[in-house]
Amino acid sequence: MNAPSFDWKKTGKFEFLSSARFESLGVEQGFIGKTADFSSSGRARFLESFRQDFKVHELCLLEQVHGSKIVTVGESDLCADGIFIPRAEPSRNERSAFGIVVADCMAILLAAPHGVCLVHAGWRGLAGKIHLKALEKLAGSAARSQFHVLIWPCAGWENYEVGPEVIAALGEGAACVPGNGDRSFLGLRETACKDFLQFLDRDQIQISPQCTVTDSSFHSYRREGSNAGRNLAFVIL
């Protein structure tokens, strides 16, 4: 799984990672770490600055529930862990941003010529195949060769130890190695990629190599506990 070119950028007060390849596809995106906190208790301090600095009308955030539901932009029910945004949305006349928040789970961005899908996936999302549901959402009339997947920083397998119930929920698709006792170290990125590679070529999948647990540039629940902030993965259309 090749690591694409990622650049650290700064817009206003926000420093963020950006994928050079997705920029070349015309997809404006980024992953904001510790320069802000988009947790439910911290985001109010940053929403207006985000809108002004990125020159967007709004930042739409989902009400994430660690599930596998994906909504389409414009739906009233935002209690979901994924959102599909058509590139040409008739009701959207201004630049808008769409985001999900994470603190060790994966944020995955999928792109096709006619739209993008942004999803949040921890082990529960993986078990519910939210990442593959996102591929289905993007299917449309696009050929699979036109799909691109981007996995943002998340917990690396060596810092993501889980119990046997998690491995059982994931089944044979779990990418894991033995841990302490009956526990296992689970590779979130590796598990997602095993599934994606059933439908996509390796060079269509881009992976940010950073581990949120060990890299202090990012918020991490496993490192900081219940007071951890939240990183923001965003896309602007």
Domain presence at residue 129: yes
C-alpha dist (Å) from residue 31 to 145, 150, 182, 231, 236: 25, 11, 34, 7, 12
| Per-residue confidence band for 93, with pLDDT thresholds at 50, 70 and 90 | low
The DSSP code for 213 is T
Query: What is the extent of the structural domain holding 149?
Result: 6-155+201-236
Judged against a pLDDT cut of 70, whether residue 3 lies above it is answered with no
Q: Where residue 57 sits, what CATH number does that domain have?
A: 3.60.140.10
The token duo for 12 is 């206003």
Judged against a pLDDT cut of 50, whether residue 143 lies above it is answered with yes
Domain presence at residue 57: yes
147-181 residue pLDDT tens: 999 999 999 999 999 999 999 999 999 999 999 99
Q: What pLDDT is recorded for position 216?
A: 97
| 116, burial (CB in 10 Å: exposed 0-12, middle 13-18, buried 19+) | buried
DSSP states along 84-141: EEESS-TT--S--EEEEEESSSEEEEEEETTEEEEEEESHHHHHTTHHHHHHHHH-TT
Domain presence at residue 137: yes
| Alpha-carbon gap, residue 91 to 70, rounded angstroms | 19
Prediction pTM value: 0.95
Domain presence at residue 110: yes
Domain presence at residue 18: yes
| Per-residue confidence band for 1, with pLDDT thresholds at 50, 70 and 90 | very low
More confident residue, 155 or 2: 155
Percent of the chain with pLDDT over 70: 95
Domain presence at residue 171: no
Residue 82: which of 56, 102, 47, 107 has the closest Cα? Answer: 107
Q: Which residues, at least 6 apart from 155, have a Cβ–Cβ distance to it below 8 Å? A: 104, 105, 188, 211, 212, 213, 220, 222
Report the 10 Å Cβ neighbour count for 65: 13
Q: What pLDDT is recorded for position 91?
A: 57
Domain total for the chain? 1
Domain presence at residue 167: no
17-56 residue pLDDT tens: 999 999 999 999 999 999 999 999 999 999 999 999 999 9
C-alpha dist (Å) from residue 165 to 7, 103, 157: 37, 22, 17
* φ, ψ for residue 219, nearest 5 deg: -70, 145
Q: In degrees, to the nearest 5, what angle opens at C-alpha 94 toward C-alphas 44 and 109?
A: 70
Judged against a pLDDT cut of 80, whether residue 213 lies above it is answered with yes
Domain presence at residue 62: yes
More confident residue, 89 or 140: 140
